[in-house]
Amino acid sequence: MNKKTIWITGGSTGIGKALAIKFSSKGWNVAVSARRVELLNELCDQNENIAAFPLDVTNKEICFEVFNKIKSKFNDIDICFFSTGTWDPKKEKDIDVEQMKEVFKVNFFGTVNTIKAVEQHFKERKNGIITIVSSIAGYRGLPNSTGYGPSKSALNNLAESLYFDFKRYNVRVCLVSPGFIKTPMTDKNDFKMPFLKTPEYAADQIYDGLVNKKSFEIHFPKALTITLKILSFIPSKIYFNLVGRLTKYQKK
């Protein structure tokens, strides 16, 4: 019996790295992509079943080339986990147009590029999972999040739209909405992060959601995400007042 294969972008650190190790430990072939080649090679050296495929997701043509290399090596791909993201809190406090363009270029269009690269494969395969990694920041507007939050909100909408398009081909589109996970990206935050969890915790939640369950959205930790989902339905006036107090956001 052939091993199943997962392709993970953003696989050099954080959730992507932890998930690569998780799937590898379960006997899957794991193709990991990221820009930092040395970190990918280190991951591959320390874990069997993992192979590195360096990639800058902002380059659409290279996304197709890398996909073809992975398909050539493993013959097939069962799950794609697209988790590339960027975040710079220091540049999110003001309207920095160039920074916002860069965030969307990586977070949104980088994800779109990788999905486009595998679109025909999955439609012809008529099976499999395409996973889009968003964030709780995509649920509703938050202070000091002029680029990151909107880019994740766009991914939420994209995932819902693609759900219908791929369902006709028996392909599952899955949205992953993590809370605060301790990664190099969240280490940049200068505020207390409630319910902070490890990348290994996130990997366990995602593995279970992808392999054992069939729900559209995998979100965790539930104590945080369910609260935020409830907040997404309350009137704006109440929401602004509550979030303002919780984040100690004050008028200047």
Q: 170-218: per-residue pLDDT in tens?
A: 999 999 999 988 877 776 766 677 788 999 999 999 999 999 999 999 9
d(C-alpha 56, C-alpha 64), whole Å: 11
Question: Residue 166: pLDDT above 50?
Answer: yes
pLDDT in tens, 210-219: 999 999 999 9
Phi-psi category of residue 144: left, alpha or beta, with phi > 0 → left and psi -120 to 50 → alpha: left
pTM (2 d.p.): 0.92
Which domains are present in the chain?
A: 5-246 (3.40.50.720)
**Cα pseudo-dihedral 210, 77, 175, 14, rounded to 10:** 80
